[in-house]
Each structure stands twice: as C-alpha cells, then as structure tokens.
Amino acid sequence: MIDNSSGNRVPSPVSGFTSNSLNYNNMLESIPVAIYTCNALGYITAFNNAAKTLWGFAPVTGKDQWCPSCKFYDHHNEPLPAGLSPMARAAEQGQIVEQVIIMQRPDGSRIKMRSHCVPQFEENRTLQGIIVTLIDVTHEEGNISKQARLAAIVDSSDDTILSKTLQGIITSWNKAAERMFGYTQAEAIGKHISMLIPMSRLSEEEYIIGQIAQGNRVEHFETIRVTKHGKEIPISLSVSPIKDESGNIIGASKIARDISTQKQAEDAMAEYARRLEVINQVIKQISDELDLNKILQKVIDATTELTAAQAGTFFYKKANSNGHFDLVCSYAHNTTKQQYNNEQILTSPLFSNPQVLRVANFKQNSSALLSNLFSGLGLNNKTSLVSCLTVPVVSRLGEVIGVLFFEHAEEGKFTAEHEDIVIPIAAQAAIGIDNAGLYEEVKFLNEKKDEFIGLASHELKTPLTSINGYLQILDRTEKNEGSRKFVTKTIQQVKKLNALVSDLLDVSKIEAGKLQFVNQVFNIGTLLDDVIELIQLSHTTHQIVLKSVIENVNIHGDPHRIEQVLINLLTNAIKYSHGASKVEVSMEFEDDKVTIGIRDFGIGIPEEKFSQIFSRFFRVEELNPHISGLGIGLYISHEIVARHNGKIWVESVMGQGSTFWLQLPTGIA
C-alpha cells in the first residue's frame, strides 16, 4: 500500500506520502479508523484495511484519484462533484476541511461519513499531500435524528412522560406532566419524585425502583398520585429502565395516564352490576315463591334495604269472598307496625293513581292531593320522617293492586335512581302476586279434583266387586262353551278396570298423604321370582330373561307395594316394546342395597323426558299414541319407592329400548 515517488517538484501521480518503514505500515494498519493518504494531485498513495472495508473495495495506489469508484453526495442527497469533495477542497485551500458527506459504494449501498482532511506541506510550504480520516456516522446521525424526533414526540404527547434517577430525582418533565400535576418543568426537574406520592403510598416507590434496578419493566401499575394543589388522582404507571452506553441502569422513564374517567366508569359499572344482581336475586326469589305473604315480605324487605329507607310498607289490596277488598300490610324488618284506616287508604290516591310519587319534604308540600294522601297514612303526625317514595304495583290488567311506600328522616333522600331500582321489582311483584293467586286457585281446584277422584274410585269399587263376583259365579255355572268364552273376556276387562280404579284411588291417597303401608321383613328375591312367573303366564308375546342369579335377600318393607312396582315395570316393558320378543331382568346385592333392572328393547324414551317420566298423568304421547294408559303407574311406583327410602330411575336410547332401575335398602339393622 506504500508507494515510493521520485520526489520531483511537480508531483507525479505517484508522488506524495511514501515510506518504506515497516513501523509506518504497521502503525497504519493497527489504527481501527479508516485512514488514507493522497499526493498533491489527489492520487491515493496509501490506505489501511479499515478504509478498504469502509469503501467496499481496494483502490489502486498511484492510479485512482479521489476514490473514483465511489460517488459522493451532500447532506441534501445532491451529487457532489469530485472537485468539491472535502479532499479536493483541502488540497485547493491548503487548510483542514471537515465535512459530513454521503458516499455510495460500488455495490450501491450508501453510508454517511465524517471526512477529516489535513493537508501536509514541505519545509518550503509546498503541498506534499493530504491525510484523510473517514468515520462512519450513519448510525450516529440516525440516532441524533431519532433523539430529536423522540424529544418532540415526548413533549407533544398527551401522556405524562417523565424520567428520574435511581435516587428518585426528576430529570425530565413534559408538558402533559405539567398539565396533570400542575408543576412547571422548572419546578419539577431536580425535585424528588416523592412530592407526587401520598404518604400512605411511599412504599410503592421502593417497589418500583427495586424492579427497575433489576432491569424489569413495571406495566400498568394502578395507583394514586397528588397534584400541586393537593388533589389525589388515580393513574396508571408504566415504568422502564434507562441505561447508559455501557448498559448500566441509571434511571427510570415513567408514563402516567389519568384513569379517573375509567375508574368512575368501573365504579359505576360495578355498582350497576351489584344493583342488577340484587334485583335479579329478588326477582328470582319472587318468581320461585307462590305464597302470597312471603312474596309481600320478601319484596318490602329487599326494596327497603336497596333504597336505604328508614321505614318501608307494602300495602296490598286483597279481594275477599264477599267481593270487597281488604288491606294487607307487610312491614320491612326495620319498620314499626302501624294502625291504618283501611277504607281511607284503599280509596286514597295511592290506589287510584298508578304513578311513582317522590316527595323531598311532605311537611312542606301544600298539594291537596298529597295532603289527603299523607293524612290517610298518618304522616302528618310523624315528626321524624320527612321524605317519601311510593311505587305502585300494577297487575297485568292495569289495576293497582299494591303500593310500596318508603320513608326517611333526611330531606330529599330518595332519587330517580331509587325509582329505577324499585320499579322492576314492583313489576315482578305484580307477576308473583298474580302467580300466587293462580296457584291458590289451581291448588283449590286440584284438591277438589283429588277429592272427586278418591270419592269416585271408592264408589266404583263396590259395584265392580259385585260385578266381578257375579261373573265368577256365571263362569263356573255356564255350560255353553261360547258363552263361557265371553264371560272369561269380560272378567279380564273387569280386572283391568278394577286395577285402574285401584291406581286412581292410590293417587288420591298419595296426594292426601294417606297411602298405607304394611311393613314386614320379606325375601325380595322370592317376590321378584313370583312376579316374573305371574307376568310370564299372562304375557306370551315376550320371554322374560334373567341376566343374573336372583339373590336370596331379606328386606324390610311392604311386599304388596313392592310387588305393585315390579308388576308395573314389567308390564310397561312388554307394552312399550311391540315388535321385540324379550325383556331382561337383573338383580344385584351390594352395600345393603338391592338393585333390580328391567330392560326392554322397544321404542325408547327421549332424554329430555327423563325428568318428567315419573310425574302424575305424564305420558310420552308422541312416541306411541295408540298405547292406552293414564300415566299414573310410574308416578305411583316412584312414590312407593320413595316411601321405602329407595331410588327409581331410567336409562334409555331412542330406538334401542329402556332400562328402569329400582334400588331399595334392606332396612334391616
């Protein structure tokens, strides 16, 4: 890289800086910065590896002038002629020239570099050459530009952005911080961050600094900070470590956002959710309740608590048997019972005006309508209570059937928000009261129906017994074979009718709680064997197959009632498996419990009907409507099993059949 020249006065292309010194070469190559030399005419005489790397190629010494393989541009990206390059200007002007220029290398890539050109003279001040140092400042210039842009962004940001040392001293403060906290930049910088922190939260700063010192970020840290004027504001903090050029953590950068609006919205939403949950709970309780007095009490207790009233009364207009109305009053737990003039209240504006009424101070209200109302309620004689709220309870027919009445000693205590809370509960109360009335009516009619069924069944028993007796005599005495055939069929039908009447009588006894049981110890295995034999003899279309050995187990219960259950289950299995040829029976004994399974291969039962299958008078009509029955056999079976502290349930797959399971405890100590 070092070229020797002749040393003529007029420089030749290869004259200028030359050296045969090994030390000179070693020194040049050891320097990590790009350095090269030119003679007075600009021909390159020497360069080091750093220069070669920067250029992206190796120029030919003594031949290449001003690095011809590269193109130069000024800081506006305008082409820079070789004669105006810093090297040429240093040679022309005979003085040091430093300039940042853009160089495009042979591969098309561009870099920004700082060119430092120093002219060298002989003793007679004749230009000998130029020493050029090149420093790549591409990233440095980019960083400066980025820092300038970042500073502008930070200052104009709507988010509060500040920085501090690890000791908590504020080092930067943008305009948003000034708007949030009230301190100017001059007032904040140099002060300790604790001026923004409430005393009760100073420990938070220790935690944050501890995280930053470990190199961790603190994200979305919700806390409270104090403004210059002492106002506390909720904020969300995001804190990041600040590092120096060596990677050492020297401070923290904080972004703070005022979340007052968010917190207010969250609090409002939480309060709304709480209120809605309470209202839903009250409404559910009302919906689940069918006792009128309990409905009235639950409604007035809940609404009095929700409105924070000091007294609450539910006035209900109840129809009596004479076609008139009685006043029923339910009082909240914090309310003293009062004596009211029933007629005066029932004819007052409370029941004639279906509007919500809210009065801030009824003692100062001169309205004639309100005066009449308050007089009937006796409010004029109360000295401690001054504000009130009345909410009507309106039936589905639009009639005011009740009024919720609340009182408080604080003037203007009740607000529109309280109305919004009570009105939906009052509406549900009206539905609940209507349902309770309908329930009472249905209950009354149901009792009459059960009474009729019981009476009719009992009355039918006597003639059926007589008919059956006469038919038995006729069957024994009739000699004509054709006539005896008809007598036999008639006896079979009378038995069916007698069984049906017995079932109806059992239903009425169950409803009245009078179904009798005669409990004793008996062998359940023997009973099951006898029932299978009985059913098999009378039903030849199906074979009853035992899938397990019948256990010899004694249980305590009513054998007649258990037999009734087994007969019903086996009869149903045959009845609802038309087209099949067998019914399977299994029995297991484990943990003092007997489990019997009766499986058919019939039409099956939809899963959604499982919960209803043991209900009174329930039948899955859509599956096989031509099969006769009243839907009371399984109901009776369920009640009998329940009275034995057992369980009965069904498993079924549509098109594959059903299995009814019966589980009974032995009941023997």
Question: Bigger pLDDT: 571 or 23?
Answer: 571
Lowest mean pLDDT among 84-93, 211-220, 330-339, 586-595: 330-339
Task: Measure the CA–CA gap between 36 and 49, rounded to whole angstroms.
Answer: 10
Contacts of 473 (CB under 8 A, 6+ apart): none
CATH superfamily of 520-665: Histidine kinase-like ATPase, C-terminal domain (3.30.565.10)
pLDDT class for 555, splitting at 50, 70, 90?
very high
Please give the CATH superfamily to which domain 157-258 belongs: PAS domain (3.30.450.20)
Task: Work out the pLDDT band at 4, boundaries 50, 70, 90.
Answer: very low
Look at 10-14, 275-279, 460-464 and tell me which has the smallest mean pLDDT: 10-14
Q: Which of 359 and 649 is assigned the larger pLDDT?
A: 649
d(CA 329, CA 337) in angstroms, rounded, equals: 9
Closest CA to 302 of 404, 230, 402: 404
Instruction: Tell me if residue 558 falls in helix, strand or coil.
Output: coil
Query: What predicted TM-score, i.e. pTM, was given to this entire model?
Result: 0.43
Q: Reply yes or no on whether the pLDDT at 192 is more than 80.
A: yes
Burial letters 173-185, b for 16+ CB under 10 A, else e: bbbbbbebbebee
Return mean pLDDT, the chain.
83
Asked whether the beta carbons of 330 and 293 are under 8 A apart, the reply is: yes
For residues 635 and 650, give the distance between their C-alpha atoms in angstroms, rounded to a whole number. Answer: 13
Residue of 550 and 397 predicted with greater confidence: 397
For residue 287, which of 80, 430, 479 has the smallest C-alpha distance?
A: 430
Options 3.90.76.10, 3.30.450.40, 3.30.300.30, 3.30.70.1290; CATH of 279-515: 3.30.450.40
DSSP string, 71-116: EEE-TTS-B--GGGSHHHHHHHHTS-EEEEEEEE-TTS-EEEEEEE
User: What residues contact residue 42 under an 8 Å CB cut-off, 6+ apart?
Assistant: 65, 66, 87, 88, 91, 130
∠ CA 275-279-283 to the nearest 5 degrees?
170
Q: Which of 134-143, 247-256, 481-490 has the lowest mean pLDDT?
A: 134-143
Q: What are the tens digits of pLDDT across the range 389-443?
A: 999 999 888 888 899 999 998 998 999 989 988 998 998 888 888 888 777 777 7
Which of 632, 644, 619 has its CA nearest to residue 505?
Answer: 632
- Residue 380's pLDDT band, with cuts at 50, 70 and 90, is low
Mode of pairing for the β-strands spanning 657-665 and 647-653: antiparallel
Do domains 157-258 and 279-515 share one topology? The answer is yes
pLDDT digits (tens, 9 = 90+) for 616-628: 778 776 666 566 6
φ, ψ of residue 160 in degrees (nearest 5): -70, 120
> 140 or 166: which carries more pLDDT confidence?
166
The answer to whether residues 51 and 64 touch, using CB atoms and an 8 Å cutoff, is no
| DSSP per position, 511-540 | HHT------EEEEHHHHHHHHHHHHHHH--
| 15 within 8 A of 39, measured Cβ to Cβ | yes
**Averaged pLDDT, 264-276:** 83
Q: 467, 474 in Cβ contact below 8 A?
A: no
Q: 423: closest CA among 305, 313, 310, 299?
A: 299
114 with 98: CB under 8 angstroms?
A: yes
Pairing mode, if any, of strands 582-590 and 543-546? parallel
310 and 331 Cβ atoms separated by less than 8 Å: no
Tokens of residue 646, six digits: 């057992």
pLDDT tens, position by position, 82-93: 888 899 999 999
Positive or negative, the CA dihedral 294, 299, 302, 304 is negative
Place of tokens 């009447």: 501
Tokens encoding 257: 């956002």
According to the model, what pLDDT value does residue 15 have? Answer: 47
Is the Cβ–Cβ distance between 554 and 515 less than 8 Å?
no
The answer on pLDDT for 145 being more than 70 is no
| CATH architecture for segment(s) 22-142 | 2-Layer Sandwich (3.30)
Annotated domain spans of the chain: 22-142, 157-258, 279-515, 520-665
- Cβ(549)–Cβ(529) under 8 Å? no
**Torsion angles phi and psi, residue 234, rounded to 5:** -80, 135
pLDDT-wise least confident of 72-86, 453-467, 569-583: 453-467
* pLDDT tens digits, one per residue of 461-484: 667 777 777 787 877 887 777 787
Window from 47-61, 416-430, 468-482, 510-524 with minimum mean pLDDT: 468-482
